[in-house]
Amino acid sequence: MIEVLQNIYPWVKALHVISVTAWMAGLFYLPRLFVYHAEVVGQAGETHMLFMTMERRLLRAIMTPSMIAAWTFGLLMVATPDRVDWSQFWPWVKMLAVLGMTWFHIWCAKSRKAFEAGKNETPGRHYRIMNEVPTLLLIIIVIMVIVQPA
Protein backbone atom coordinates (compact mmCIF):
# COMPACT_ATOMS: atom_id res chain seq x y z
CA MET A 1 0.00 0.00 0.00
CA ILE A 2 2.86 2.39 0.82
CA GLU A 3 4.36 1.90 -2.64
CA VAL A 4 0.98 2.53 -4.29
CA LEU A 5 0.55 5.79 -2.37
CA GLN A 6 4.04 6.92 -3.36
CA ASN A 7 3.46 6.06 -7.02
CA ILE A 8 0.13 7.87 -7.31
CA TYR A 9 1.17 10.85 -5.16
CA PRO A 10 1.48 13.33 -8.07
CA TRP A 11 -2.02 12.41 -9.26
CA VAL A 12 -3.45 12.67 -5.76
CA LYS A 13 -1.80 16.06 -5.34
CA ALA A 14 -3.19 17.31 -8.67
CA LEU A 15 -6.71 16.10 -7.80
CA HIS A 16 -6.38 17.74 -4.38
CA VAL A 17 -5.50 21.11 -5.95
CA ILE A 18 -8.41 20.81 -8.42
CA SER A 19 -10.83 19.93 -5.60
CA VAL A 20 -9.63 22.77 -3.39
CA THR A 21 -9.97 25.23 -6.26
CA ALA A 22 -13.59 24.22 -6.90
CA TRP A 23 -14.36 24.31 -3.16
CA MET A 24 -12.83 27.76 -2.78
CA ALA A 25 -14.81 29.11 -5.74
CA GLY A 26 -18.01 28.12 -3.95
CA LEU A 27 -16.82 29.45 -0.60
CA PHE A 28 -16.13 32.82 -2.24
CA TYR A 29 -19.41 32.95 -4.18
CA LEU A 30 -22.06 31.61 -1.79
CA PRO A 31 -21.66 34.34 0.88
CA ARG A 32 -21.83 36.93 -1.92
CA LEU A 33 -25.17 35.42 -2.97
CA PHE A 34 -26.27 35.71 0.67
CA VAL A 35 -25.39 39.44 0.66
CA TYR A 36 -27.68 40.10 -2.30
CA HIS A 37 -30.33 37.72 -1.00
CA ALA A 38 -30.44 39.54 2.35
CA GLU A 39 -30.12 43.12 1.05
CA VAL A 40 -32.04 43.10 -2.22
CA VAL A 41 -34.18 40.00 -2.65
CA GLY A 42 -35.76 39.46 0.75
CA GLN A 43 -37.48 36.23 1.78
CA ALA A 44 -40.45 35.99 -0.55
CA GLY A 45 -41.27 36.02 -4.22
CA GLU A 46 -39.94 34.64 -7.46
CA THR A 47 -36.42 36.07 -7.11
CA HIS A 48 -36.20 34.62 -3.60
CA MET A 49 -37.01 31.21 -5.05
CA LEU A 50 -34.36 31.70 -7.76
CA PHE A 51 -31.72 32.61 -5.17
CA MET A 52 -32.63 29.62 -3.01
CA THR A 53 -32.23 27.33 -6.04
CA MET A 54 -28.83 28.83 -6.93
CA GLU A 55 -27.62 28.63 -3.33
CA ARG A 56 -28.81 25.04 -2.88
CA ARG A 57 -27.28 23.83 -6.14
CA LEU A 58 -23.98 25.61 -5.50
CA LEU A 59 -23.71 24.03 -2.07
CA ARG A 60 -24.90 20.52 -2.96
CA ALA A 61 -23.54 20.08 -6.48
CA ILE A 62 -20.21 21.90 -6.26
CA MET A 63 -19.12 22.88 -2.77
CA THR A 64 -19.89 19.76 -0.74
CA PRO A 65 -18.55 17.23 -3.30
CA SER A 66 -15.43 19.42 -3.74
CA MET A 67 -14.91 19.62 0.02
CA ILE A 68 -15.22 15.85 0.37
CA ALA A 69 -12.78 15.33 -2.51
CA ALA A 70 -10.32 17.88 -1.08
CA TRP A 71 -10.40 16.14 2.30
CA THR A 72 -10.07 12.68 0.70
CA PHE A 73 -7.09 13.59 -1.48
CA GLY A 74 -5.54 15.63 1.34
CA LEU A 75 -5.74 12.70 3.73
CA LEU A 76 -4.24 10.42 1.08
CA MET A 77 -1.32 12.83 0.75
CA VAL A 78 -0.86 12.89 4.52
CA ALA A 79 -0.97 9.07 4.56
CA THR A 80 1.85 8.91 2.02
CA PRO A 81 5.09 8.23 3.95
CA ASP A 82 7.79 10.91 4.14
CA ARG A 83 5.61 13.72 2.75
CA VAL A 84 4.68 15.61 5.92
CA ASP A 85 6.96 16.18 8.89
CA TRP A 86 4.56 16.58 11.81
CA SER A 87 7.38 17.76 14.07
CA GLN A 88 7.33 21.05 12.16
CA PHE A 89 5.02 23.99 12.81
CA TRP A 90 3.43 24.46 9.38
CA PRO A 91 1.35 21.27 9.00
CA TRP A 92 -0.42 21.94 12.29
CA VAL A 93 -1.29 25.50 11.31
CA LYS A 94 -2.47 24.30 7.90
CA MET A 95 -4.62 21.64 9.55
CA LEU A 96 -6.24 24.26 11.82
CA ALA A 97 -6.91 26.51 8.83
CA VAL A 98 -8.48 23.62 6.90
CA LEU A 99 -10.68 22.88 9.91
CA GLY A 100 -11.61 26.58 9.90
CA MET A 101 -12.50 26.34 6.21
CA THR A 102 -14.67 23.31 6.96
CA TRP A 103 -16.39 25.22 9.78
CA PHE A 104 -17.05 28.07 7.31
CA HIS A 105 -18.59 25.59 4.86
CA ILE A 106 -20.92 24.32 7.60
CA TRP A 107 -21.79 27.92 8.55
CA CYS A 108 -22.71 28.59 4.90
CA ALA A 109 -24.93 25.49 4.87
CA LYS A 110 -26.72 26.64 8.03
CA SER A 111 -27.16 30.14 6.60
CA ARG A 112 -28.67 28.68 3.44
CA LYS A 113 -31.14 26.70 5.53
CA ALA A 114 -32.18 29.91 7.33
CA PHE A 115 -33.01 31.51 3.97
CA GLU A 116 -34.84 28.35 2.91
CA ALA A 117 -36.95 28.41 6.08
CA GLY A 118 -37.67 32.12 5.65
CA LYS A 119 -35.92 32.83 8.96
CA ASN A 120 -32.76 34.66 7.92
CA GLU A 121 -32.13 37.52 10.31
CA THR A 122 -28.49 38.04 9.40
CA PRO A 123 -27.89 41.39 7.69
CA GLY A 124 -26.04 41.68 4.40
CA ARG A 125 -23.17 43.50 6.11
CA HIS A 126 -22.46 40.44 8.24
CA TYR A 127 -22.32 38.24 5.14
CA ARG A 128 -19.96 40.79 3.54
CA ILE A 129 -17.60 40.54 6.51
CA MET A 130 -17.85 36.75 6.65
CA ASN A 131 -17.02 36.62 2.94
CA GLU A 132 -13.44 37.56 3.90
CA VAL A 133 -12.95 34.50 6.13
CA PRO A 134 -12.11 32.01 3.34
CA THR A 135 -9.64 34.51 1.83
CA LEU A 136 -7.75 34.82 5.11
CA LEU A 137 -7.74 31.06 5.63
CA LEU A 138 -6.56 30.50 2.05
CA ILE A 139 -3.65 32.90 2.59
CA ILE A 140 -2.63 31.02 5.73
CA ILE A 141 -2.89 27.63 4.01
CA VAL A 142 -0.90 28.65 0.94
CA ILE A 143 1.87 30.24 3.02
CA MET A 144 2.10 27.17 5.25
CA VAL A 145 2.33 24.78 2.28
CA ILE A 146 4.66 26.83 0.08
CA VAL A 147 6.92 28.56 2.63
CA GLN A 148 6.70 25.86 5.32
CA PRO A 149 7.83 28.11 8.17
CA ALA A 150 9.61 26.17 10.91
Q: What is the mean pLDDT of residues 72-80?
A: 97
What's residue 43's pLDDT? 86
pLDDT at residue 70 tops 90: yes
Residue 30 pLDDT grade (very low, low, confident, very high; cuts 50, 70, 90): very high
Residue 127 pLDDT grade (very low, low, confident, very high; cuts 50, 70, 90): very high
> Considering Cα of 15, then 20, then 23, then 28, what sign does the dihedral take?
negative
What's residue 95's pLDDT? 98
Average pLDDT, the chain: 96
